[in-house]
Amino acid sequence: MNLDSLPPDLRAAVDAAQSKLAFGVTVLDLRELRTFTGYFLICSAASSAQTHAIAEEIEARLEAMGTRVTHREGARAGQWVLLDYGGFIVHIFHEQSRQFFDLERLWRHALRIEVPDDRPRHAAS
């Protein structure tokens, strides 16, 4: 599995996250596990402000494509934001929250795409 094999709206969400300097971008393919969604997009942010900026950019890009978020959680605290698009769910974590929830371990049986960071990590600070 690679980025080119992902649905266009999910690829756009990955691009949007990277444009706001998200790091640790990972896509989990959950389709074989027959669960409530097809994919998780998981990424990290260095601050609450960056968490919000990533979420806003993803929503704006997908809305421009005609894809609207069906459910949103966690935006107030900024430690974690969830955007549910039905076929995939975006998880944007402040790094400590990502380590705490450890979705990659919980969904370790899913196929995984780890997206290379486009920019040096210090640029996300």
- Select the more confidently predicted residue: 110 or 122: 110
Residues in Cβ contact with 119 at an 8 Å cutoff, skipping those fewer than 6 apart? 21
Report the run of H or E that residue 16 belongs to, with start and end: helix 8-19
Q: Does domain 6-115 have CATH number 2.160.10.10?
A: no
Q: Report the DSSP pairing between strands 111-114 and 39-45.
A: unpaired
What percent of the chain has pLDDT above 70?
91
DSSP 8-state class, residue 68: -
Confidence at residue 122, expressed as pLDDT on a 0 to 100 scale: 39
pTM (predicted TM-score): 0.88
% of the chain with per-residue pLDDT over 90: 77
pLDDT at position 117 over 90: no
- Whether residue 112 is predicted with pLDDT greater than 60 in this model: the reply is yes
Mean model confidence pLDDT for the chain: 89
Q: From the DSSP assignment, how many helices (H) and strands (E) are in the chain? A: 4, 6
Instruction: Please report where in the chains the tokens 């950019």 appear, as a residue.
Output: 57
Q: How far is CA 58 from the centre of its chain?
A: 9
Overall average pLDDT of the 74-78 stretch? 73
